[in-house]
Amino acid sequence: MGEWLRTHAHVVRRLQWLVVLVYAVLLVVPALLPLPGPTARAWNHLTVLAEFAFWGLWWPFVLVSMVLFGRLWCGVLCPEGTLTEWAARHGRGLGVPRWMRWGGWPFVAFVGTTVYGQMVSVYQYPKAALLVLGGSTVAALVVGYLYTRGKRAWCRYLCPVNGVFALLSKLAPMHYRVDDEAWRRSLQTGAEAAAHAGPAGTPQPIRIVRRAAAPAVDCAPMQPLRHMQGASGCHMCGRCSGHQGAIALQWRSPTHEVVHLGATEATHWQTWLIVFGLLGVAIGAFHWSASPWFVAIKQAIATWLVERDIYWPLADDAPWWLLTHYPDQNDVFTWLDGALLLAYIGASALVWGGVTLALLALAVRLAGPWSRQRLHHLAQALIPLAGLGVFLGLSAITLTLLRGEGVFVPWANAARLALLAAASAWSLWLAAAIVRHWQGQQPPPLAPARTLAALLPFALALAWVDSAWGWLFWWW
Ligand code: SF4
């Protein structure tokens, strides 16, 4: 498969531009059309079709593809990747600046787009989708035009979902494996003695055999090919397949990257993205519109304001690009709605993420001496559940859209329960493997009772995260 991708680059290139075309049509045309009426359906109104394509199919199933195939989407299909690389081929070719290398961008960009998307109701309105997705695409083009020569600096450093994709692809059962020994052999400069002997007493003639250097690989996300170990930064484009006779797409254990590489490669920004991003801000973003607590708090504050003749927070004159404003659809946010939305998502992030982090820290402490790196390592065991949460939240939009089309899925909640149980078991399995990995580094090994004690707070953290989805799908 890797070889096919490399040798059929022209086919991939055409496919990429086809995706760009479809993406542009689905993004731009609905924003120019009147909003669909209540009878509009995906098969008779482009706006409904685009809504379904972006939020019902594209987002949830791109997340699934990360876990199955790594970042194949990024390397082969993503329209922003194609556009930023194209712009970089024709742009200024500046070096990647220091500010862009800051490790916090994946967290900040994910949180920023998630929260802003909620403020403007990105899932419901095409103008908001054009602003959020189109804004990101324009930024990708500008960054591509300015920085690097034909590379994807945007994807590697700034894309709002780069961090999430990098985390999920750690679970993929395949990666481009680099065989260091084969690479070394391919670079070897050999010296062979000539087969025939020279005259006695004269030096043996030596024939130097130098292999021609393999042509450089055009790795768009700028991976350090020789030392690449995991799949998180690789876009699975196949361009390096067979390079130096040492790189090939291969199967691997889906635990390998989290358990073995995470011990040294897990960072605090990844922990923030898992704990406060995917298990905090994202939960708040999916919760607020369904939460009776949100409504109760809003009513209490509105009553309090009216009793004191303070009316400006109840005005709904914010522009649509700041807060949702569609009077014809009876959908307008007041300033109070906007402020509460931000406060609710922020509080959710602190509560869900804070408790999860505290339980992780307790698990690390029970497993042995405190180590911050171990905390970041163990946080990676939450990736399956964190990823599934975002999938469930997005697939709820899929189901709502399907309902609008007259398709009902009565088994949805049973499937959600099964998926939550499976993802929780997967996370627990990873945590157990991580703790066992620590034992190998720390003689004498932990007693089994101590291992269990370390896993107990982790299991509580899983139950705590599961309960967030319990509120959304069962208890509210
Ligand atoms: S390492 Fe680079 S060139 Fe190789 S498959 Fe990944 S993205 Fe493509």
Q: Whose CA is nearest to atom 1 of ligand 1?
A: 234
Domain end residue (candidates: 122, 146, 171): 171
Q: In terms of domains, do 137 and 269 share one?
A: no
Q: In terms of domains, do 269 and 157 share one?
A: no
Percent share of the chain, pLDDT over 70: 93
Whether residue 146 has pLDDT greater than 80: yes
Whether residue 56 has pLDDT greater than 50: yes
> Using CA atoms, how far apart are residues 161 and 72, in angstroms rounded to an integer?
14
- 271 within some domain: yes
Q: Whose CA is nearest to atom 6 of ligand 1?
A: 234
Q: In terms of domains, do 154 and 278 share one?
A: no
- 127 within some domain: yes
- 93 within some domain: yes
Q: Whose CA is nearest to atom 8 of ligand 1?
A: 237
- 151 within some domain: yes
The whole-number pLDDT of residue 397 equals: 86
What is the CA(355)–ligand 1 centre distance, in A? 38
- For 372, the token pair is 């911050």
* Cβ 451 under 6 angstroms from ligand 1: no
User: For the chain, what is the domain count?
Assistant: 2
> Using CA atoms, how far apart are residues 58 and 45, in angstroms rounded to an integer?
18
> Using CA atoms, how far apart are residues 12 and 5, in angstroms rounded to an integer?
7
Segments forming the whole domain that contains residue 58? 2-171
- 203 within some domain: no
* Cβ 239 under 6 angstroms from ligand 1: yes
Whether residue 169 has pLDDT greater than 50: yes
Whether residue 446 has pLDDT greater than 90: no
- 371 within some domain: yes
416-436 residue pLDDT tens: 999 999 999 999 999 999 998
What is the CA(220)–ligand 1 centre distance, in A? 7
Residue 447's pLDDT band (boundaries 50, 70, 90)?
low
Q: In terms of domains, do 152 and 279 share one?
A: no
306-343 residue pLDDT tens: 999 999 999 999 999 999 999 999 999 999 999 999 99
Q: In terms of domains, do 272 and 148 share one?
A: no
Are 198 and 269 in contact by the 8 Å Cβ rule? The answer is: no
The pLDDT of 73-97, averaged and rounded, is 96
Mutation test of ligand 1: which of 240, 247, 249, 250 has the most ligand atoms closer than 8 Å to its C-beta?
Answer: 240
> Using CA atoms, how far apart are residues 5 and 329, in angstroms rounded to an integer?
47
Task: Return mean pLDDT, the chain.
Answer: 91
Residue 350's pLDDT band (boundaries 50, 70, 90)?
very high
Domain end residue (candidates: 148, 171, 194): 171
Mutation test of ligand 1: which of 237, 241, 244, 249 has the most ligand atoms closer than 8 Å to its C-beta?
Answer: 237
Q: In terms of domains, do 165 and 274 share one?
A: no
What is the CA(326)–ligand 1 centre distance, in A? 44
What is the CA(232)–ligand 1 centre distance, in A? 11
Mutation test of ligand 1: which of 78, 177, 239 has the most ligand atoms closer than 8 Å to its C-beta?
Answer: 239
Q: In terms of domains, do 7 and 123 share one?
A: yes
Q: Whose CA is nearest to atom 4 of ligand 1?
A: 240
Q: In terms of domains, do 152 and 269 share one?
A: no
202-214 residue pLDDT tens: 545 545 445 556 7
> Using CA atoms, how far apart are residues 362 and 383, in angstroms rounded to an integer?
18
Percent share of the chain, pLDDT over 90: 81
Nearest ligand 1 atom to alpha carbon 247: 4
- 236 within some domain: no
* Cβ 234 under 6 angstroms from ligand 1: yes
Q: What is the pTM of this model?
A: 0.91
Are 392 and 419 in contact by the 8 Å Cβ rule? The answer is: yes
Q: In terms of domains, do 471 and 368 share one?
A: yes
The pLDDT of 173-177, averaged and rounded, is 96
Domain end residue (candidates: 124, 139, 171): 171
182-199 residue pLDDT tens: 999 888 754 444 444 445
Residue 42's pLDDT band (boundaries 50, 70, 90)?
confident
- 465 within some domain: yes
The pLDDT of 449-466, averaged and rounded, is 92
* Cβ 219 under 6 angstroms from ligand 1: yes
> Using CA atoms, how far apart are residues 68 and 64, in angstroms rounded to an integer?
6
Q: In terms of domains, do 273 and 130 share one?
A: no
382-406 residue pLDDT tens: 999 999 999 999 999 889 888 888 8
The whole-number pLDDT of residue 193 equals: 41
Lowest-confidence pick of 34-43, 62-71, 284-293: 34-43
Contacts of 330 (CB under 8 A, 6+ apart): none
> Using CA atoms, how far apart are residues 169 and 257, in angstroms rounded to an integer?
9
The whole-number pLDDT of residue 142 equals: 98
